[in-house]
């Protein structure tokens, strides 16, 4: 089976996909050998737009 681009976490036999962004980063927070949280942020380039 072909997988889509992304990052995959396998936890308790379940697959969790972190969807790719155009720009930004994700940080995995670990606790006791398991992923507890995912912090996500995005980057927006300032390019003469009126609002972000």
pLDDT in tens, 22-46: 888 999 999 999 999 999 998 888 9
Q: Which domain holds residue 38?
A: 21-52
45 located within any domain: yes
39 located within any domain: yes
pTM equals 0.69
* Gyration radius of the chain over CA positions: 15
3 located within any domain: no
pLDDT of residue 43: 85
Say how many domains are in the chain: 1
Q: Which residue has the higher pLDDT, 29 or 51?
A: 29
pLDDT of residue 38: 96
Residue 7 has pLDDT above 90, yes or no: yes
Spatial neighbors of 12 by CB under 8 A, at least 6 apart, are none
pLDDT of residue 45: 87
């Amino acid at each position: 089976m072909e997988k889509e681009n992304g990052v995959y976490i396998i936890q308790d036999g379940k697959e969790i996909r972190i969807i790719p962004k155009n720009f930004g980063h994700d940080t995995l927070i670990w606790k006791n050998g398991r992923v507890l949280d995912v912090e996500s942020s995005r980057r927006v380039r300032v390019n003469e737009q009126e609002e972000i």
